[in-house]
Structure formats: structure tokens, C-alpha cells
Amino acid sequence: MITKTDFMYGWQCHKLLWWRRHEPDAVELQPDRVLQDLFDQGNLVGALARERFAGGVLIRHEASRVERVRLTADAIVAGAKVVFEGAFIADGVFVAVDVLVRGDEGWHLIEVKSASGQKDQHIPDAAVQAWVLSRNGIVLSRIDIMHLNRAYRHPDVGDLFARTDVSADVTRIVGEMPELTSRQLQVLDGPLPDVRIGRHCFEPYDCPFMKRCWPQDPHHISRLYNVGPVKAAGYMAAGIHRIDDLAPDAKLPWAARRQLRALASRRLIVEPTLTGALDAFDAGPLGFLDFETVSRAVPVWPEMAPWQHAAAQFSYHESKSDGTYRHAAHLAEGPQDARPLVAERLVEETRHAVRVVTYSAFEKTQIRALAAAVPSLAVELRALEEKLIDLLPVVRDNVYHPDFLGSFSLKSVLPALVPDVTHSDLVIVNGLTASVEIARLLFVADRIPRDERQRVRKDLLDYCERDTWGTVRLLEVLRAMAG
Ligand code: SF4
């Protein structure tokens, strides 16, 4: 038997499906905090969606699949107008439908998604359900994806949910379901299938088994700067698997050309233009800023949209006349709107800086969002925005080290250029985990033991500080190179 979830993995890749079913305890499949948070938010969205349908009968997950199918049949025979999580089996495929609403001309199938729009992958997801239901004699009159509404603003501007009618799209592919599902069942009965790597490894979701399938070769074509999954798959289809396979006259961005030179010579490349590019960083006092944000499917603070990011933490270093730096940090506490205090502390700490260095444009977007959310400090925040100066383009346009592996993210650049600043001793090492941990501290602190709360706060403060300190040191190293 395969479930709808299995089917969707198999839709992406048979090898992925096979591993998930044959190695359910694989280390790649163990949910980390980020994945668990996604599940939790999906469950919350599902529960809120059910509140939109009065008098529904919920088929509980705890029962066995066969029992759930029986309970669903009983509810339908008893005349239920709405069924939640109704379970059905046909030809070795098990599905549980989020919402089924009885209508005059048939049932209305509603698949609930926590995304803020209808996505391509929702069509096969709904189609396999529609097919299993049709095999059970259920006539469907309409199929909708019920997703979060990106125009919604908390708490009461618009509706949290929007629906997209996908009946026609589903009808178009539902006839393929018998063959697709029986092929998946055959694959599961056989040995590990041989599937070549390609675009499907990233679409619709990043495959957790990438490290098993993709070469770790630093010269692999997927390591070329500015090559995403689509371009990498295109290169591989054309027989170009390594960066060295590229034709000498291949059209590439300048940073990629510099990468080719660095790989060929196996050394760091520094352009003479670096000196001039650093002129803008000469003014002092010079600040260095990094934000961490929270992003919730169902927004909790005023005027926020689903999944919108809101600054809840920052780290700030500022140069002093004696050549040292002062450090300031802020991390929100409690479930109330964090943005007014973040904005206030930020304005206060950055007041004397002539320029404020960031690494990427993300901080600019967050300062703009703060100005909109905290109108009383909008003027000061706009003034801060004017001071921002981004170091990332300076690195991208002037420097390449073979160890960058095609990326100019701070986590790729620091180990190569500033080995004394490492993230390897930290508990939190990426922004996604930081975001989920902040959300835990803010919104479910009562479920976390006090000791753990303090430890996580310290981990978050350490992580954010390391990013601004890394930027400080990176600028120092770049200046030395330019010199
Ligand atoms: S990395 Fe690609 S080929 Fe390998 S299992 Fe995942 S999707 Fe399939």
C-alpha cells in the first residue's frame, strides 16, 4: 500500500520514494526543529480550516487505516454533510481527504495547504485523491485547494484563507493515476531504482537524499556561480557535468568567469577594483548589522501577512576610534509584537553610525518593514536605511576563492577568507533554525523548561553576534587584500 504522501514523493522521484519506504529510519529523514515546525504550522492551518465548516465529522488519525475507512463509510451512510480526514483505499492506495462537503450534485473535495498560493504540485496531490474516491463510488462535483491568502492582514483585513478551483486541472491528469500508482507499487517491490540526478531533486521540494546522489566534487557544474537547479539540469542534459567541461566561450557572468580562473589556477583571485569598491566603507563610526526574524503561517502581530518575516532579534557592532568595536544586541521576549522595541533599540544603537554595513539586502527589507509597522519611528528608520551599505556585492564583484564553491553567502565566504571566525562551535548555525527557535521562545515559552529557554536565548545571541563579527572581520581582511 502507498499513501498519498508516498505518492507525492514518488511523483518527485522513485528513488526518493523507495528510500523513504525502505529506510524510514535513515538519518536524512529524521525531522529537525525546522521540519517539525513546518508540520506544526501545517496542523494549525488544517485545524483553522476545519473551523470554516460547521458540523463536520472528524475521522480520527489514531485508528488503523482500515478502521478509518470504515468510520468514513459509516459517516457518509449516516448522512454527514461534511467529513474531515475521510479515509479511502483503492488499488493499494490510501488517502485521507482534508475536507469533503456534500452537495446537491456530488461531493466537494477541499485540500488544505499552508502555502500562501496554489502550487503546481497541488494538482497531482488532489488528483490521486480524486481517483481513489472515484474508485469508491464517490462522485465529485468540484475540487478546490484551500490555501492561505497572501492579501490577508492580521487580524481582520480580508480572509485568512483563499480557495482555487482546480477541478479542470485535476480532471486533465486523473486518468494517469492508475498507471502512476501501480508503477510506484512495483518500484517498491523491486530493488533500489536507478534514477539520474536532475531538476526533480529540487522540485517541488529539496530532496533530503541529495548528499547520497549528487557528487560532492567542488568542480561539479552545480557548483558554478549563479547556477540553480534548472540551469544545472540543463548543463547535465547537454553532457556538461564539470565546470572544466564548459566551452571556453561559454556566456557566463563575471563572477563565474572569475570562479573559472580561480579553479584553474587553484588560488584566490582579487581584482584591482577591490580598493575602489571599499572606499565607501571608509567613513566612521561604521556599524555592522544583522537581523533574525520570525515567520508564521498564521500571522500573530498586527498588519502581518501569512509567512511574512518580522525582525525579532538583531546584533550590531560599531567601530570605535581606538580601533576596537562595541557590541549591542536585542532579542525579543514574550508573545507581544516585538517590532516596536526592536525598532526603538535599533534606532538608539545605530544613531551615531555614519554608514551601517550589512551582508545581503535582507536587512534593508526588514528596516522598511519595521518603518511600516512602527510609524512613530519611520523617519529614523528611513534615515537608517539611507546609511546601509552592502558588503556582499563587493565580494562578489572583486574576489573569488576556490573554496567558495560557487556561493557568496557569508557561510561560504568566511571559512575561506576569515578562518578565525567559524560557526562550527555554535549550536545554531543557520537562519532557518534561528527563526524557528525564536518563534518557540516567543510563542510557546511555557512549554519549554526554564534552563532550556536560557540556553536557547544564549545560542541565538551567539549566532547573530557571530554573523556581525564575521562581517567586521571580513571587511578587515578585504582591506588587507586591497592593500
Ligand atoms: S537526490 Fe534526486 S535522484 Fe536522488 S533520491 Fe533525491 S530526487 Fe531522487
Query: pLDDT tens digits, residue range 123-143?
Result: 999 999 999 999 999 999 999
Residue 223 CA to ligand 1 centre (angstroms): 17
247 and 262, same domain (yes or no)? no
The reported pTM is 0.92
- Among 148, 174, 189, the domain boundary falls at 189
18 and 55, same domain (yes or no)? yes
Residue 212 CA to ligand 1 centre (angstroms): 8
**C-alpha cell at position 174:** 486523473
- Among 153, 174, 189, the domain boundary falls at 189
Q: How many other CB atoms are there within 10 angstroms of residue 177's CB atom?
A: 23
Dihedral Cα 369, 375, 377, 378, nearest 10 deg: 60
**C-alpha cell at position 397:** 564583484
Cβ of 195 less than 6 Å from ligand 1: yes
229 and 295, same domain (yes or no)? no
Task: Please list the pLDDT of the chain residue by residue as tens digits (483 residues).
Answer: 999 999 999 999 999 999 999 999 999 999 899 999 999 999 999 999 999 999 999 999 889 999 999 999 999 999 999 999 999 999 999 999 999 999 999 999 999 999 999 999 999 999 999 999 999 999 999 999 999 999 999 999 999 999 999 999 999 999 999 999 999 999 999 999 999 999 999 999 999 999 999 988 989 999 999 998 889 989 999 999 999 999 888 999 999 999 999 999 999 999 999 999 999 999 889 999 999 999 999 999 999 999 999 999 999 999 999 999 999 999 999 999 999 999 999 999 999 999 999 999 999 999 999 999 999 999 999 999 999 999 999 999 999 999 999 999 999 999 999 999 998 899 999 999 999 999 999 999 999 999 999 999 999 999 999 999 999 999 999 999 998
Residue 314 CA to ligand 1 centre (angstroms): 37
Cβ of 17 less than 6 Å from ligand 1: no
Task: Report the amino acid identity of residue 289.
Answer: L
273 and 300, same domain (yes or no)? yes
Nearest-CA residue for ligand 1 atom 7 is: 201
Residue 202 covered by a domain:
no
Report residue 50 CA to chain centroid gap: 26
Residue 191 CA to ligand 1 centre (angstroms): 15
Residue 171 covered by a domain:
yes
- CB contact at 8 A, 131 and 7: no
How far apart are alpha carbons 432 and 409 in whole angstroms? 14
Q: Which atom of ligand 1 is nearest to the CA of 208?
A: 6
Give the CATH number, domain containing residue 339: 3.30.420.10
402 and 260, same domain (yes or no)? yes
Domain span holding position 183: 2-189
Residue 224 covered by a domain:
yes
